Amino acid sequence: MYDAVGVRVDEIPVTPEKVLKALKKRGKGEEGRVGPEAFPDIPWPEATRVPPPWEGGNGKAIDQAATLAGGVREERQH
């Protein structure tokens, strides 16, 4: 979008109305951008780590908290 018309639309779906709004903002000397002002904080879950065979893995997830705490790998049941 930016390469085509010089504005950014940070929201889906990109509609002609949003593009026009961004173009009007740019015409007023403002930033030519439409979309949310900020993104919400999202509490991401801990990543599941499954070591590959060349790292000694057996296809099962390991408990990273235990690995970090004491170097002991505990398998998770998934």
- Looking at the structure of the chain, the number of domains it has is 2
Task: Note if the pTM is more than 0.75.
Answer: no
Quote the pLDDT of residue 40: 87
Q: Per the domain annotation, does 29 fall within a domain?
A: yes
* Tokens standing for residue 20: 């026009």
Whether residue 51 lies inside any domain: the answer is yes
Q: Determine the pLDDT at residue 70.
A: 53
For residue 67, the model assigns a pLDDT of 57
Do 48 and 74 fall within a single domain? Answer: yes
Residue 58 lies in a domain: yes
| Structure confidence by residue, pLDDT tens digits, 3-52 | 999 999 999 999 999 999 999 999 999 999 999 988 889 998 988 999 99
Does residue 61 belong to any structural domain of this protein? yes
Residue 65 pLDDT grade (very low, low, confident, very high; cuts 50, 70, 90): low
- Within 1-78, residue ranges assigned H as helices are 2-5, 16-27, 64-70
Give the tokens for residue 77. 């049941």
39 lies in a domain? no
The confidence score (pLDDT) of residue 66 equals 57
Which residues span the domain enclosing 17?
Answer: 2-34
In a domain, 69, yes or no: yes
Residues 77 and 50 grouped into a single domain? yes
